[in-house]
Amino acid sequence: MQRRRWLNVLLISWLWGLFGLTLLGQAASATTAPQPASAAPSSVLGLNLSGGFTQQPIDSNQIAGQSVTLVATGTRSALEAVTNPLGSRKYVWWESTDGGQTYQQVGTNSSSYQFTAPTVTSATTLMFQVQYKFSGLGSFSDYWSRVAQVTVEPSRVAATGLKVSADATSLNNGESTMVHASLTPANATDTVTWKSSDDALATVDDYGNVTATAAATSTSGTADDHGVVTITGTVNGYSDHVDITIGALQNVTVVEGTAATFTLANLPSGMTVSNWYRVKNGQSTALNSTATSYTIAKPTNADDDGTAYYAALNYTVNGKVQTVTTDAALLTVTKGGNLTLTAVPNLDFGTVGFAQLAHGTQLTIDTSSQATGTAADGNADGKLAVSDQRTVGNAWTLSASLAPFGTSDNGGSSLSTPQLALIDTSAGLNQEISANNSSTTIATQSGYHSQTYDVTASQLTLAASPLASAGDYHSIITWTLGVVPSN
């Protein structure tokens, strides 16, 4: 019995204490309009860090005798929802017919208020404010909407144009904003209709309230929970639109080798990054970063194309840390280009006499003659060119091998070990190649640079060949362009 009595006393004391808090909270709240508009609520990923009106009553022009509906939507903070699970709020509508000097309560306990526009002989302005009234345990204040003006015209005023704008042009998942239509003329009474380009990404109601979709559970980066939605307003045949970015993270497309950065836009105060994650082939990997952005310094098409990234965010409610995750955004990495050998020369060293060849000689290119035959598949301009359009990869190297000089005449005679010197003084090229099929490095280049050589100054050195036979001697140059292996 003593234990039961103690519990009863404790319960009564607890209720009395909360009742005292309720009295203090209610005393601090204003009870009649007009009141300054409450700050907009703060939220991320559908979590309300602070309460307020997510949808405000809008200004409009109406025709006398028409039915008019005003709409507002309020929300509680996460702290209020946690600490007052049995608490509630109700809507109270206030109207002023004297320019805002005095207000009367006209509606209660509904997020909408409907009335018939009065009969007027000239433009008449009515003013409305909504109170989102707290009732429950605790010291939470009432929320107050903006003051909306409804101008009643005696008859229709046709719209001849409109300009659409938005309170916010970027929304986190689950957030809302308002779009507005500024009509021409300003007192036009025609009704604006609203349309979203992607209802799965964000919806818009008849009053211009845009609501972003919640973040998907999929981490593939391909879910329709981020991107840009177009909200279009139409009136009397005229249209205009505004683009709104949905999602905390957006897809990123880069050329491989170019840094890719995912950035958390509009992170609310009190939110911190717990970690970033990379998703490849359905597997998430923690990246051990708590920054508000994450950069992939040098992505490649092979390893990074098609990967996704998302962040885990922490917030504190009633002293407890909670975690939510953002939408997952996709990384697309396109190939930057190819490494190609775009031009090789045919080299024709003209004619040499037996007397010269018997003692050895050095020949220069005969630009008046052109090499012919199936093996002569290069250019006659002395052009040797490498094109490097890559953005990732190691340095390239160009090598060449020169086959022995021979002729099909007189039983296939050959010359004694000619030496080809590839020369381009302007490019710093002077490299000898022996006609023995050995590979010789001609050039090496790093930093993804293309290179063009003019080798018309090249020379062919022939050793003394007193027993050489008459004929057309030729050799084949094999060019090899490759990438230097990683260490």
pLDDT in tens, 389-448: 888 888 999 999 999 988 866 556 677 679 999 999 999 999 999 999 999 999 999 888
pLDDT in tens, 188-211: 999 999 999 999 999 999 999 999
pLDDT in tens, 295-350: 999 999 999 999 999 999 998 888 889 899 999 999 999 988 899 999 999 999 98
Name the residue ranges covered by the structural domains of the chain: 1-155, 252-334, 339-483
From residue 398, alpha-carbon distances to 109, 283, 335, 402, 480 in Å are 81, 41, 22, 14, 6
Among 41-45, 107-111, 141-145, 343-347, where is mean pLDDT lowest? 41-45
pLDDT at 13: 30
With cut-offs at 50, 70 and 90, classify the pLDDT of residue 96: very high
Closest CA to 167 of 176, 157, 154: 176
pLDDT at 135: 86
pLDDT at 136: 79
Does the pTM surpass 0.85? The reply is no
Bridge partners, 431 (sequence order): 422
CATH topology of domain 252-334: Immunoglobulin-like (2.60.40)
Half-sphere exposure of 234 (CA within 13 A, CB side): 7
Residue 245's H or E segment, with its range, is strand 238-246
447: exposed, middle or buried (Cβ count in 10 Å: 0-12, 13-18, 19+): exposed
> Is 152:162 a contact under the CB 8 Å cutoff?
no
> Is 33:131 a contact under the CB 8 Å cutoff?
yes
- Neighbour tally for 318: CB within 10 Å: 11
List Cβ neighbours of 296 (8 Å cut-off, separation of 6 or more): 259, 260, 261, 304, 331
- Indicate if 252-334 has the same CATH topology as 1-155: yes
Q: Which amino acid is at 88?
A: S
CATH topology of domain 1-155: Immunoglobulin-like (2.60.40)
Q: Angle at Cα 87 formed by Cα 82 and Cα 92, nearest 5°?
A: 125
pLDDT in tens, 33-59: 999 999 988 876 767 778 999 999 999
- Average pLDDT of every residue of the chain: 88
pLDDT at 21: 31
Among 66-70, 204-208, 466-470, where is mean pLDDT lowest? 466-470
pLDDT at 24: 34
pLDDT at 410: 53
Share of the chain above pLDDT 90, in %: 67
- CATH 3.60.21 is held by the domain 339-483: no
pLDDT at 85: 78
Between CA 380 and CA 344 the distance in angstroms is: 9
pLDDT at 16: 29
Residue-by-residue DSSP string for 330-366: EEEEE----EEEEE-B--------HHHHHH-EEEE--
- Residue 7 pLDDT > 60, yes or no? no
Average pLDDT over residues 208-231: 96
Two structure tokens written together for 338: 């190819």
pLDDT in tens, 360-397: 899 999 877 665 555 557 898 899 999 998 888 889 99
pLDDT in tens, 261-282: 999 987 877 889 999 999 999 9
From residue 325, alpha-carbon distances to 106, 217, 312, 319, 377 in Å are 42, 9, 4, 20, 60
